[in-house]
């Protein structure tokens, strides 16, 4: 089998580059090898970035999406997560988890998202800069736990939030992320070893989640419609309920996907909006046109706000590549004959940086999404096919409502002296330093005072 051409440096060197600076590694590969190349990142992996190749990969019955290829996520989400399954088992898990993320339930989440965002922002003070990603992590954590899992704002929720945040931050830098990629670093030598600390935090999370599950089992409530209650009520073809371990792992999957990634995306959006004054001015004009107390779904339909969120997810997609696909039988892709067993990644990052799709791809231009409709093979921040992100509708709604709620009421400014760069955070791509910001004051109250003074 002859794989597409790719870098010739030793496999270990390429793995270090992939972990430490994945964007530079990918940029160089794409510049030298084009639409398809082979990367030696622990194992040979074919990476594609051409929309036609992405379309063929997702629609070909000669490829599948194996759960075993996602083993890097197992320390975070567990063995019983839907991302670890393939075929019918994966399909059943998705069907079970889909309902809470669509339809009327999304409308019900709207007010809660706005209330949580306003509550978090109300605690900011003028004389104390804050880190946008950390603040947004608090917002998204509360949304996912309260709106989706129905956990009341009680002692257990108060304990779970900081432990989960600490757990996620344990892979918050390229060096820390190496634990997920290099097997021999996964040694539990107690609290003084990174892997040991991560395992300890994982056990604390398990204790809290299992306690919640047991409480729900002992005190069932047929009126509850949150996802945990729906999962607990579900039965397989033999009439058996999900085990506690299955429930825990699916919860961790949705917590990780709905918390860290959305918080990172919102932090990036705050950066670009305040980094580019013209973008901020145009957005504020659109938000102010809504008047007092707009309906959350009305906010979600604002065109320029939507374009900002789309461009945010384009220029620095939180997920750099789709879940892996594996060749089942010989298939041709971009002129290359690929044999069974070949692993393929579609690079979201590189596809979003193609100049033929996005002129001046390094420039933040929301207008490009007002001027053109992109296909799901050209714009793919949530992946595609059977592995497309299950919570994308909630993530998009949350981005828009959090941005709108805070920017309508609070006057913010960047506290960064240099342009913020992206860096690896575990398996995601986030802003280095988390985007430092400062509060200048309240916008709405100032506007009201000006209106009164002018006699309006």
CATH number at residue 183: 1.10.630.10
**Residues 338-364, mean pLDDT to the nearest whole number:** 96
Residue 22: pLDDT band (50, 70, 90) is: very high
Answer yes or no: is pLDDT of 447 > 70: no
pLDDT on residue 454? 45
Q: Is there a domain that residue 169 lies in?
A: yes
Answer yes or no: is pLDDT of 16 > 80: yes
Q: In terms of residue numbers, what domain contains 219?
A: 11-453
Q: Is there a domain that residue 6 lies in?
A: no
Q: Is there a domain that residue 177 lies in?
A: yes
Q: Is there a domain that residue 314 lies in?
A: yes
Answer yes or no: is pLDDT of 157 > 50: yes
Quote the percentage of the chain above a pLDDT of 90.
49
pLDDT on residue 170? 61
Q: Is there a domain that residue 37 lies in?
A: yes
Q: Is there a domain that residue 30 lies in?
A: yes
- Highest-confidence range of 20-24, 98-102, 402-406, 415-419, by mean pLDDT? 402-406
Q: What is the count of structural domains for the chain?
A: 1
Q: Is there a domain that residue 180 lies in?
A: yes
Segment among 89-98, 137-146, 275-284 with least mean pLDDT: 89-98
Which tens digit of pLDDT belongs to each residue from 226-272? 778 877 887 777 777 888 888 888 888 887 777 888 999 999 999 99
pLDDT on residue 373? 95
Higher pLDDT among residues 307 and 159, named by residue: 307
Residue 310: pLDDT band (50, 70, 90) is: very high
Which tens digit of pLDDT belongs to each residue from 70-110? 777 777 777 888 888 888 778 877 777 776 676 677 777 89
To the nearest whole number, what is the mean pLDDT of the chain? 86
Which tens digit of pLDDT belongs to each residue from 164-197? 777 776 655 555 556 566 665 667 676 767 777 8
* HSE-CB of 353 using CA atoms within 13 angstroms: 20
Token duo for residue 235: 């039965």
**Residues 352-370, mean pLDDT to the nearest whole number:** 97
Q: Is there a domain that residue 2 lies in?
A: no
pLDDT on residue 259? 80
pLDDT on residue 222? 79
């Amino acid at each position: 089998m002859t794989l597409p051409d790719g870098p010739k440096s030793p496999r270990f060197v390429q793995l270090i580059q992939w972990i430490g600076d994945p964007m530079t590694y990918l940029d160089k590969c794409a510049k030298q090898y084009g639409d398809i190349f082979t990367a030696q990142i622990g194992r040979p992996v074919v990476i594609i970035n051409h929309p036609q190749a992405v379309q063929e990969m997702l629609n070909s019955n000669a490829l599948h999406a194996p759960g075993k290829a996602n083993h890097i996520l197992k320390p975070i989400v567990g063995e019983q997560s839907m991302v670890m399954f393939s075929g019918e088992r994966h399909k059943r898990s998705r069907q079970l988890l889909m309902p809470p993320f669509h339809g009327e339930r999304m409308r019900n989440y709207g007010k809660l998202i706005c209330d949580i965002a306003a509550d978090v922002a109300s605690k900011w003070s003028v004389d104390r800069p804050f880190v946008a990603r950390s603040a947004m992590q608090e917002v998204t954590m509360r949304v996912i736990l309260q709106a989706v899992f129905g956990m009341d704002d009680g002692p257990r929720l108060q304990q779970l939030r900081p432990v989960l945040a600490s757990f996620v931050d344990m892979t918050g830098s390229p060096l820390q992320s190496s634990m997920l990629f290099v097997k021999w670093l996964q040694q539990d030598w107690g609290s003084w070893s990174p892997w040991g600390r991560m395992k300890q935090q994982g056990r604390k999370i398990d204790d809290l989640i299992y306690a919640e599950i047991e409480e729900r089992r002992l005190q069932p409530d047929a009126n509850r419609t949150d996802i945990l209650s729906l999962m607990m009520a579900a039965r397989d073809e033999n009439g058996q309920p999900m085990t506690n371990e299955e429930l825990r792992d699916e919860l961790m999957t949705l917590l990780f996907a709905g918390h860290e990634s959305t918080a990172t995306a919102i932090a990036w959006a705050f950066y670009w909006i305040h980094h580019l004054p013209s973008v901020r001015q145009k957005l504020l004009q659109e938000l102010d046109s809504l008047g007092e107390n707009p309906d959350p779904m009305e906010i979600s339909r604002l065109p320029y706000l939507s374009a900002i969120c789309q461009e945010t997810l384009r220029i620095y997609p939180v997920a750099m590549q789709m879940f892996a696909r594996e060749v089942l039988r010989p298939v041709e892709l971009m002129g290359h004959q690929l044999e069974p067993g070949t692993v393929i990644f579609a690079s979201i990052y590189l596809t979003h940086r193609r100049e033929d799709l996005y002129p001046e791809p390094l420039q933040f231009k929301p207008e490009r999404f007002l001027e053109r409709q992109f296909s799901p093979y050209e714009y793919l921040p949530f992946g595609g096919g059977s592995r497309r992100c299950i919570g994308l509708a909630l993530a998009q709604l949350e981005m828009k409502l959090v941005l709108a709620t805070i920017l309508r009421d609070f006057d913010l400014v960047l506290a960064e002296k240099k342009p913020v760069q992206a860096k690896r955070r575990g398996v995601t791509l986030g802003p280095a330093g988390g985007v430092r910001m400062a509060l200048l004051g309240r916008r709405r109250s100032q506007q009201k005072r000006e209106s009164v003074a002018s006699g309006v």
